Structure formats: C-alpha cells, structure tokens
Structure 1
Amino acid sequence: MCRHQPPCPSPDGPDRDAARTVASHPEQGWSLLCNGVVLFEDTGELLPDGVVVAPHRPTDLRATAA
C-alpha cells in the first residue's frame, strides 16, 4: 500500500499510528493512514483485517503501570 520512502510502519506493528495520513475527516472524527489503519480521534483504531483496537491514551499506560 505504501509507495513512499521510508515506508510506513506495518498495520500490525506497535508504531502503526506513525504512518502518513492519506485521508482526513476531522468533522467525522477519523483519518485513514497509509498502512490501511483507520484512526479515530478518541485514539481507537480499525485495522485493515477488521480488528478493533480500543481507545488508548498515554495516561492509560501510566495508570496501569503503577
């Protein structure tokens, strides 16, 4: 899917959110990334294979690590 250099992170990698935005619809609250991931403004994600990733914020990680 990704044709630029360097290529975007894989949709199943931990850094998948770092892919380039190819379509943005802020009025609807979502963006399509170059790797096929749909990223929602609440940080939830829809992966190309249909897997749903629940919203995750950096503050959530600190709360569970303590």
Structure 2
Amino acid sequence: MCQHTPTCPTAAQPDREAAKPLTRSEVQGWTLLCNGVLLFDDTGELLPDGQIIAPHRPVAATGAAA
C-alpha cells in the first residue's frame, strides 16, 4: 500500500504508528495511515485485518514524590 521511499512500517510491525498519514478526520478523531492502520486520537487502533488495539496513551503521574 505504501509508496513512500523508504517504505513506511507495515501494519504488522511494532512501529506501525510511524507510517505517514493519508487522511484525517478532526471531527471524528481518527487518522488513516498509508499502511492501512486507522489511528484514533485516544491512541487506539484498528488494523487492516480487523484487529483492535486498545488505547495505550501513557498514564500521567499523580501526586508529589515523597
């Protein structure tokens, strides 16, 4: 699917989110990457094979260190 040089990571690779965006919907909160991954603003993903990747944004630290 990707025609970039060098090619973007495939949807099966761990760095799949590094692929270049093709289109974006600000209102619905998603970006379609050139490897077919649908990346959501909450960091969840829908892969081309239908696999769902749960949101994985970092957890913010709360409270002060003692």
TM superposition score category, shorter chain reference: 0.7 to 0.9
Task: Determine whether 1:44 maps to 2:36.
Answer: no
The runs of 5 or more residues in structure 2 that have no matched partner are 61-66
1:24-63 to 2 correspondences below 5 Å? 24-59=24-59
Per the normalisation by structure 2, the TM-score is 0.85
Distance in 1 between the 2:27 and 2:41 partners?
Answer: 10
User: How far 1:58 moved relative to its partner?
Assistant: 3.1
- How many residues in Structure 1 have an aligned counterpart in Structure 2? 60
The structure richer in helix per residue is: 1
1:58 is paired with a residue whose SS is: coil
Distance in 2 between the 1:59 and 1:19 partners?
Answer: 24
- Identity score, percent: 60
User: How far 1:14 moved relative to its partner?
Assistant: 0.6
Deviating above 3 A after TM superposition, structure 1's stretches of 4 or more consecutive aligned residues are none
The runs of 5 or more residues in structure 1 that have no matched partner are 61-66
1:7 is paired with a residue whose SS is: coil
The one-letter code of the counterpart of 1:14 is P
Per the normalisation by structure 1, the TM-score is 0.85
Query: RMSD of the TM alignment (CA)?
Result: 1.2
The one-letter code of the counterpart of 2:7 is P
